[in-house]
């Protein structure tokens, strides 16, 4: 059984620093505003935090700082999106509610890890 099967603290899957911009809210296009974000994949959610300098993967714990925003991954879609930016290593995450985010890293291997880890969570939720 998973660590969350008792309804307790959700499992922390991954945490790290990515560049982030929201490009749509409820299907309505937004102006890009790239900024570094501390991104945490925990349970069924991708959670974004400001102030990444105070965070490290080993020290982060659910509940010890206030998220900037959070994304429900159930029904979400991931796509590589280098066509949507002048930056390299970019993917787009679209939620069922029509919120769209671009996430980016200068490190190709790192962004590929994030892509496949998030896709695994989406696939798991699709099977539930
Ligand atoms: C935007 C800014 C973004 C850029 C975007 C620009 O200009 O330079 O970084 O996105 O390009 O419009 P501004 O700061 O004046 O809003 P990328 O870095 O992802 O290319 P876009 O309009 O082609 O998306």
Query: What is the complex's ipTM, to 2 decimals?
Result: 0.93
Q: Using alpha carbons, list the distances in angstroms from residue 97 to 15, 48, 93, 94, 113.
A: 24, 17, 11, 8, 25
14 lines ligand 1 (CB under 6 A): no
Look at ligand 1, atom 23, and give the residue with the nearest C-alpha. 85
Look at ligand 1, atom 13, and give the residue with the nearest C-alpha. 32
Q: What percent of the chain has pLDDT over 90?
A: 73
Query: Residue 35 is inside which H or E element, if any?
Result: strand 35-42
Is residue 21 helix, strand or coil? strand
User: For residue 1, what pLDDT is reported?
Assistant: 41
Query: How many angstroms does the Cα of residue 65 sit away from the middle of ligand 1?
Result: 30
Contact call for residues 42 and 29 (beta carbons, < 8 A) = no
Residue 45's DSSP bridge partners are 42, 72
User: For residue 60, what pLDDT is reported?
Assistant: 58
80 lines ligand 1 (CB under 6 A): no
What tens digit of pLDDT does each residue of 64-80 get?
Answer: 677 889 999 999 999 99
Task: Point out the least confidently predicted range of 8-17, 52-61, 92-101.
Answer: 52-61
100-104 vs 90-94, strand pairing mode: antiparallel
Q: What is the pTM of this model?
A: 0.87
């Amino acid at each position: 059984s998973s660590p969350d099967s008792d309804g307790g603290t959700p499992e922390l899957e991954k945490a790290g620093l990515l560049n982030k911009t929201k490009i749509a809210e409820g299907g309505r296009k937004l102006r890009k505003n790239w900024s570094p974000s501390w991104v945490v994949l925990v349970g069924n959610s991708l959670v974004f935090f400001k102030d990444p300098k105070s965070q490290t993967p080993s020290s982060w714990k659910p509940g010890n700082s206030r998220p900037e925003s959070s994304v429900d991954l159930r029904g979400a879609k991931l796509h590589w999106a280098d066509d949507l930016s002048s930056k390299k290593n970019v993917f787009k995450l679209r939620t069922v509610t029509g919120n769209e985010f671009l996430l980016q890293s200068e490190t190709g291997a790192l962004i590929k890890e994030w892509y496949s880890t998030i896709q695994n969570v989406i696939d798991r939720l699709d099977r539930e």
